[in-house]
Structures are given as structure tokens and as C-alpha cells.
Amino acid sequence: MLIPLIRTLILYFFIVFSMRFMGKRQVGEMQPAELVITILISAVASVPMQDIELPLVHGIIPIITLVSAEVIMSSLSLKYPRLRTMISGRPITIIRNGNIDQKAMQSLRITIDDLMEDLRLKDVYDLRTVKLAQMETNGRLSVLVDSKHLPPTAADMGISAADSSPFRVIISDGKLVDKSYADKPNKHKWLQKTINAKGAKTVNEVFLLAYDEQSSVIFAKKENG
């Protein structure tokens, strides 16, 4: 039992390292070649995990080969646009000025239901407002809404708006994330004063506490039970 466990852990960490080396992408953002490499690595790694009599190197060498091939092809694709097009394809326009290209949908083999779902995920519920919609090479739909259907911005209305900054989590599920507020003066006193003002006595009673550079605070107390 110990040998299969060790072999599996070795392959696990080796595959994680290999995927990190290839780059950070979600499965839905992978190009076809990247997805194929990922599937092949999974298939190759499963063989030495199941067959303990097979030398571990027989699983590692194919993985190194696949990762090396992907890195080389990615480098060549950056240098040669035609090769990139051959491997990944080109974006295909599906909607232009509110009109659906039916031939494009047939070539992509997507239905109206699929298209409408993708539009809804982009917060677009009326395809007539779409100036341009393209199916990208990674299989995701990009949408450009006609400017006359967009909500006005502060610049459009000629008014100034306060700059915003991302919120930084200080307390997460009763645990203190100290680095998030290391730049706060008298941080411990500030923290205790803040949670007391929100009705909590200790950090353990806080589910979420976050703040931004404008000193706005998001607070949620832990629910009982």
C-alpha cells in the first residue's frame, strides 16, 4: 500500500509543477492544443499509478515530453502568426449589428439556446443591442454592446466620481489575515474598535471584515450554529 501511495504523490506533485510551468489558465480558457495536452497528461499519469510494476520514469518522461512540446509550440506560435492560426483557429463573428450569422452558428454547431445563454451570462438579454459578438478560439463568447444601449458613465455626464479601490480582507471566517492591514496605523486598536462598533467582541465572532483605501468597511458577523 505504501509504494502506490508514494508513486501517486510523486506524480501528483510532478503534474502540478508541470501545469504551473505551462501557465495559469482555467479549463474554459484553454486553447484546443492546451486542452489536448492536459487530457494526455492525465491519461499518461494514470498508467504508472495503477501499475506499480511499471517504472515510474515511464510516466514522467512522457509528461516531460508533452509539456516540452506545448512550451515549444507556444513559443513558435508567438513568433509565427500563421502557425498560431493553424493550431488555435480564428475568432468567428456570430452577431453583427443585432443580426445573427446563421452559417457561422451552423459551422460552430451551437444552438440558439446556447447563444442566448452565453449572452445572458454577459448580462445581455436583448441581442438587438449587440453590435458585435464573436466566438473566441477558447470557446468563449465575447460581446460588444452598442454604445447607445450602455449606461452613461460619470465622464459622459460631466461629473467627477470618487476613485474606488479593491477591498482587502482582514478577517475571514474568524481568522485574522494580518498582512491585509499591516499598513494601518495602530492596527490592533483600530481592529478592536471596528469590530466592537459592529457588535462583535472578538475576532472569532467575525465572519468577514474587509476595508478599502477610502476606509469603507464590509462587516458580517458569524451566524449562530
Residues 54-106 pLDDT 10s? 887 878 888 888 888 878 887 888 888 888 777 777 899 999 999 999 999 99
Q: Hey, what domains does the chain have and what are their CATH numbers?
A: 2-86 (no CATH), 92-149 (3.30.240.20), 168-221 (3.30.240.20)
What percentage of the chain has pLDDT greater than the value 90? 21
Residue 152: per-residue pLDDT: 81
Q: How close are the terminal C-alpha atoms of the chain, in Å?
A: 40
**Confidence check: pLDDT of 25 > 60:** no
Which residue has 443580426 as its cell numbers? 99
Whole-angstrom Cα distance, residue 224 to residue 220?
12
Residue 31: per-residue pLDDT: 67
